Amino acid sequence: MGLTNAVVNGILMGSVYALIALGLTLIFGIMKVVNFAHGALLMIAMYAAYFTWLLTKANPYLALVVVAPLMFAIGYLLQRYLIRPVFKAEADTREPISALLLTAGLMVTLENAALLVFGGDYLTAKTSMTGVTYHLGSVSVSAARLYAFLITFAAGGVFHLFLKHTETGRAMRAVGQDRSASSLMGINVYKIYDIAFGAGVALLGVAGVVLIPFYYAQPSVGQIFGTRAFITVVLGGLGSVPGALVGGLLIGVVESVAAQFMEATWTQVLINYGFLVFLFIKPSGLFGSPYDS
C-alpha cells in the first residue's frame, strides 16, 4: 500500500472521527459539558444500526431513518431528565463538573449494561458490499469506507445548514456564545440544551450506521472512538466546528500513514501521547479561542 493510498484511506476514516467529534464539540460548545458518555452512546448507536439491519436485512444505510431519530430521542431524554437537574443546581458555574461526572457514570453503566445484554461478541453487518473495493490508479478503497465518507459529509453539510439557517440553529449558537444574554433575548436555554444534546447524539447515530458495515459493535468499542473524539476536539479547539472537522481528518491521516511504519497498536500510543505533547504546546487547539483554556 503506497503513501497516497494511506492518505486517502486515512481521510475516509478521519471523516468518521470528525463526525463523532462534531457531536462532542457541539455539546461542549453550547453546554460547556464534556460528554464522557459520548463513546458509549456511539456503541449504543452501532448496536441499534446492527439490529435494525439484522431484522430488516435491508441496505444497512437505510437504518439511518431509524437510528438517527432514535439516538436524537435518547440524547434529548438523557439531557432533559438526567443532566438538566444537575445543570440547574450549578447554573452559575462556568464549567459544571457534576454534569461531567454524571456522564462518566452513564458511560460505565451503558458499557456494562451492553455487556450484560449483548454479551462480548463482535457484531458486524456482513452484506454483499463487504470486501468490495474500488480502484483508481494506485489507490484502492473499500466500498463501505467510501460510503461512510460520503454519508458523513452529507450529514455534516445538513448539520451546518441547520446551525446557520434555522431559527433553532441560530438560538443554539447564541446560547453557546452567551447563556445569560440569550436567555434575556427570550431563548429558552434549557430547551436549547435538550435539542443540542439530542442533535449531538443523533450525529452519533449517523456515525454508528456508517461504521457497522466495516467495523464491529462490541461493548467497549466506544472507548476507542470516545478517546479519539476527545483528542480530536481538543486538537481542533474545544467547541469549534471546523476544528472538529480538521482534527478528525488529521488524526485519520496520521493513524493511517503511521500504520505504514509501525504496528497498528502503536499508532494508538503515538496519537495519545502526541496529543499530550500538543496539549503542552497549544492547549487552545488549532481553531479554539484562547479564552476557553
Partner 1 sequence: MSIKGQAIWGFGAVAALAAVPLFLTQPYYLHTVIMILFYAFLASSWNIVGGFAGQLSLGHSAYAAIGGYTSTLLFIHTGLTPWVGMLVGGLIAAIIAVLVGMPTFRLRGAYYALATVAFAEGFRVILESTKHVGKWDTGGAEGLMVPLKGNMPSLMQFMGKAPYYYVILGMLVLVVLVSWYIDRSKLGYYLTALREDEEAAQALGSNTAIAKLQAAAISAFFTALGGTFYAQLVRFLEPPAIAGADLSSQMVLLAIVGGRGTVLGPVLGGVLLTTLGELTRAKLGGSLLGIHLILYGIGVMVAILYKPQGLIDPLMAGVRKLARVVNRSRAAAETGR
Residues that bind partner 1 (CB under 8 A): 28, 32, 34, 36, 82, 85-86, 89, 94-95, 97-98, 100-102, 104-113, 115-116, 120, 220, 223, 227, 230-231, 234, 238, 263, 265-266, 268-269, 272-273, 275-277, 279-280, 283, 293
Question: How far is 13 from 29, CA to CA, in rounded Å?
Answer: 24
The cell for 109 is: 453503566
Please name the amino acid found at residue 197: F
Q: Considering the complex, state which of residue 74 and residue 231 has its C-beta at the smaller distance from partner 1.
A: 231
Q: Considering the complex, state which of residue 187 and residue 259 has its C-beta at the smaller distance from partner 1.
A: 259
The torsion angles phi and psi of 262, rounded to 5 degrees, stand at: -145, 170
| Among the listed residues 252, 232, 267, 258, the one whose alpha carbon sits nearest the alpha carbon of residue 10 | 252
Write down the least CB distance from residue 84 to partner 1, Å: 10
Question: How far is 274 from 252, CA to CA, in rounded Å?
Answer: 14
Write down the least CB distance from residue 221 to partner 1, Å: 12
Write down the least CB distance from residue 89 to partner 1, Å: 7
The cell for 287 is: 481553531
Please name the amino acid found at residue 66: V
Q: Considering the complex, state which of residue 75 and residue 213 has its C-beta at the smaller distance from partner 1.
A: 75
Q: Considering the complex, state which of residue 187 and residue 235 has its C-beta at the smaller distance from partner 1.
A: 235
Torsion 238-22-168-45 (CA) sign:
negative
Q: Considering the complex, state which of residue 53 and residue 230 has its C-beta at the smaller distance from partner 1.
A: 230
Question: How far is 178 from 234, CA to CA, in rounded Å?
Answer: 21
CA distances to 45, 74, 85, 249, 272 from 209, in Å: 7, 16, 31, 19, 26
| Among the listed residues 125, 82, 84, 88, the one whose alpha carbon sits nearest the alpha carbon of residue 107 | 82
Write down the least CB distance from residue 109 to partner 1, Å: 3
Write down the least CB distance from residue 127 to partner 1, Å: 30
Write down the least CB distance from residue 79 to partner 1, Å: 13
Q: Considering the complex, state which of residue 160 and residue 282 has its C-beta at the smaller distance from partner 1.
A: 282
